[in-house]
Amino acid sequence: MNMRKAFAIVCAAGVAAPALANHYGYWNNSQDFYVAVNYMPDFDQKRDSGAGVFGLPNDGAAYCAPTAIANMFAYIERHGFANNPGVDGPGVQNWADSSDTAAYNTATLFINSLGVEMNTHPQDGTTSYSDVASAVDGRLSNTLFTVSVYFRTDRWAPTVSTIADYMRQGGINMFCFGRWDVDFGGATPRLVDRASGHCVTMTKVDKRAGFGYGADEYVINFCDPASGGSSETDQSNFVHSVVPIVDVAFRGTEPIAVPMSTFDVSPSDGRVRIIDGCVGIYPKAAWGVWPTNDSIAFWQGGSFDLTYNPNPAPNRAPSLVTYGAPEGSPIFDTLLAPDRGSAVVATLANPATGEAGSLYTLELGSGVFHHVQTLANPAGMAFGRDLSLFVVQNPTTSGLATIKRFMPDELASANDPSQQGPVGSISVPATAVAGVAYDDVHDRLAMLVTAVEPAGETVGGSSRVVLLYDPSIIGGFPFRTIVPRSDTVDFDAEMIAFDPATGGLLIADAATGAVALGDDGGEGAWRLIHGGGARIDAITPIGDGLVRVAPAAGDAFVIEPSGGALYAVTADEDLPPIARAMFLSGGRFTHNSTNFDPRLHQGPEWNNVDPDDLLPAPATTADCLVDFARPFEQLDIADVVAFLERFGDGDATADLAAPFGALDIADVVAFLQLFGAGCP
């Protein structure tokens, strides 16, 4: 892939293109919202070969995961990213036309290719979600999109509310549910065994106030790959399954009650259908302490508003949301949480008010801060692969630095201090920590430190080394030292970052601007990727191996380590003002992430198949393709006006008829026919 071209797309044309997701609905609060995605394809997974028709291995009986992912790729290309070098999807065709054998075969070949990349087994299905993440990541540019893959653990699980939060931020999602044996004998039901599961593509979450939903109740719509009709040689009608959901607290091996979303149905096998994994694709986002230490800024290329709007436009332009500092204290650092709906904020002490430095969580929707804990001398923080937060503190006077670890449930209970569990803390064999980064590939924390042990290891005449902390080591010595030195690397490093795209560790000398990359999380070869020449303020991986460098003065520039290329991104480049301000001022960018643990999330129990009694036959509905404006699920003059506005603006969502990719009178005729037919 041409990295320079792909990066230019996200910073210029990409963010101005039709939105990734045609979302609609609103978000008032966690008890009053309605988010939906229209025009999501609903490919059939069961595909048999026939005269001139291609099939899938075992007729696709175990191909739910690649089929649900194929829905999302077809959706992305249909919504502004066709022929984009950063998207390797099936193209744009009229997938719903059951008579179009060429389109059907194209979809089959694409699903089959995804299955190969995911190591999908004809009988056992997709058995490792790391393969799902790799397949999706390999077909999307990280400078355009962020891919997140999360599963239940004994302390956290992706709920319907979590997925709805992802959707309102411009994301599209596949989720998987397991068929669980549950022991209901104790005060909290205990998960016993997962007997395989199934994957589908989410299209709607309904929790509107006044509709009679309980505090933990929802109704969801999803495209089910197994819902095809009797024919397995042509595409069935696109429909959405409609299922009620209720959140129930379960525990696993630890005595911690974790809310999980269950299907409120009664299958004949007696097992509980529980959502236990999700794969999300999101527009690239950025955040930072901007423009000074008194405010936090979040920029996203998504299409859905972060705040309540009773009449939102379905396609939002890239947006910037800012929040003032909590208690007026100077902000040390901010991290976007893995759930993307919240952030953690570390502040410094405020001598003017006497306010101590603290750690907060921030609800991005409401702007509400929750105090977690007083925090002295923060040196850095990072989220681990298991979604826990690591906060490193330097000693206040003398002694050693410390690491505090906050588990997901401890952060989630920040708004109720009485429910907070104990926070683990460990001493670091270092007197000072200059920077912190988390190595997602090797599941460890990397710190740039002044080392105490082992003695005598130096970098360029200083005592600055990389210290690796392995949180899985209990009872032993969990630290290991790396001396980042080679023939081309010998300087006083002051900055550190991990690049998940390359698996490399980045260090930089702020004074000279030199940047080095260590392969294999710093344990491989080290090489200088930028010789420096001027002071820099920050280094930031931005995706696809590209590294953004923010100089103390002048324009930001990008390093392409694989080829050594370097190019500037200037203030007069064709960027939206928001993107330009964030990019040039030092914002960090989202990157692919997962909490996948092979010890927990793979094996026969995690196979995804199509059992005969997957669900009691759910209700189904179809897209209302011309429901462009509120009130939703009801057609009126507002939808006519909205269509005409979109047609006039050249919006891809007004492209309702062939030839797709161009708006003409055929789209107007199709709109009138669909409007006359009414919503399903």
Q: Which residue has the higher pLDDT, 557 or 378?
A: 378
User: For a pLDDT cut of 70, what percent of the chain falls above it?
Assistant: 82
Q: Which residue has the higher pLDDT, 613 or 424?
A: 424
- Contact present, 394 and 379 (Cβ < 8 Å): yes
8: Cβ contacts below 8 Å, ≥ 6 apart:
none
Let me know if residue 609 belongs to a domain.
yes
> For the segment 55-113, what is each residue's pLDDT rounded down to a tens digit?
999 999 899 999 999 999 998 888 777 777 888 999 988 898 889 999 999 999 999 99
Q: What backbone torsions phi and psi does residue 183 show, to the nearest 5 degrees?
A: -95, 110
Residues 246 and 342 in one domain: no
Q: Decide if pLDDT at 206 tops 50.
A: yes
Q: What is the mean pLDDT of residues 612-625?
A: 68
Let me know if residue 464 belongs to a domain.
no
Side-by-side strand order, sheet with 526-530: 495-499, 504-508, 515-518, 526-530
pLDDT of residue 617: 63
Let me know if residue 436 belongs to a domain.
no
Q: Decide if pLDDT at 558 tops 90.
A: no
- Rounded Cα distance between 189 and 114, Å, is 36
Confidence of residue 209 (pLDDT cuts 50, 70, 90): confident
Residues 242 and 352 in one domain: no
Which of these ranges, 44-53, 439-448, 582-591, has the smallest mean pLDDT?
582-591
> For the segment 589-602, what is each residue's pLDDT rounded down to a tens digit?
788 888 888 878 87
Residues 63 and 100 in one domain: yes
Let me know if residue 352 belongs to a domain.
yes
Residues 74 and 94 in one domain: yes
Let me know if residue 647 belongs to a domain.
yes
> Can you list the positions of beta strands (E) in 440-591?
444-451, 464-469, 479-482, 495-499, 504-508, 515-518, 526-530, 536-543, 546-551, 556-560, 565-569, 588-589
- 648: domain range? 635-680
Which of these ranges, 299-308, 500-509, 633-642, has the smallest mean pLDDT?
299-308
CATH number at residue 78: 3.90.70
Residues 250 and 377 in one domain: no
pLDDT of residue 574: 45
The amino acid sitting at 90 is: P
Which of these ranges, 9-13, 266-270, 504-508, 534-538, has the smallest mean pLDDT?
9-13
> For the segment 219-240, what is each residue's pLDDT rounded down to a tens digit?
999 999 988 777 889 999 898 9
Let me know if residue 483 belongs to a domain.
no
Q: What is the mean pLDDT of residues 334-357?
A: 84
- Rounded Cα distance between 555 and 667, Å, is 45
Residues 126 and 263 in one domain: yes
Average pLDDT over the chain reads: 80
Q: What angle do helix axes 129-138 and 64-76 make, rounded to 10 degrees?
A: 20
Confidence of residue 615 (pLDDT cuts 50, 70, 90): low
Residues 90 and 222 in one domain: yes
Q: What is the mean pLDDT of residues 525-544?
A: 85
> For the segment 134-183, what is each residue's pLDDT rounded down to a tens digit?
899 899 887 778 898 899 988 889 999 889 888 877 789 999 999 999 99
Q: What angle do helix axes 101-117 and 64-76 make, rounded to 10 degrees?
A: 120
Residues 163 and 64 in one domain: yes
Q: What is the mean pLDDT of residues 404-428?
A: 66
Q: How many domains does the chain have?
A: 3
Residues 73 and 181 in one domain: yes
Q: Decide if pLDDT at 5 tops 50.
A: no
pLDDT of residue 378: 92
Q: Which two tokens stand for residue 92?
A: 């744009």
pLDDT of residue 452: 58
Q: What is the mean pLDDT of residues 116-120?
A: 94
Q: What is the mean pLDDT of residues 290-311?
A: 53
Let me know if residue 439 belongs to a domain.
no
CA distances from 356 to 373, 374, 394, 397, 407 (A): 10, 7, 15, 16, 23
The amino acid sitting at 128 is: S
Residues 336 and 306 in one domain: yes
Residues 56 and 181 in one domain: yes
pLDDT of residue 460: 42
Q: Look at residue 356 and give its three-state secondary structure.
A: coil
Which of these ranges, 36-40, 46-50, 615-619, has the smallest mean pLDDT?
615-619
Residues 216 and 312 in one domain: no
Let me know if residue 118 belongs to a domain.
yes
Confidence of residue 261 (pLDDT cuts 50, 70, 90): very high
Q: Which residues pair with 373 in a beta bridge?
A: 359
Which of these ranges, 197-201, 215-219, 503-507, 657-661, has the smallest mean pLDDT?
657-661
> For the segment 504-525, what is each residue's pLDDT rounded down to a tens digit?
999 998 888 889 999 999 999 8
pTM (2 d.p.): 0.81
Backbone dihedral region for residue 97 (phi beyond 0: left; psi -120 to 50: alpha; all else: beta): beta
Confidence of residue 469 (pLDDT cuts 50, 70, 90): very high
Confidence of residue 567 (pLDDT cuts 50, 70, 90): low
Backbone dihedral region for residue 594 (phi beyond 0: left; psi -120 to 50: alpha; all else: beta): beta
Which of these ranges, 25-29, 360-364, 639-643, has the smallest mean pLDDT?
25-29
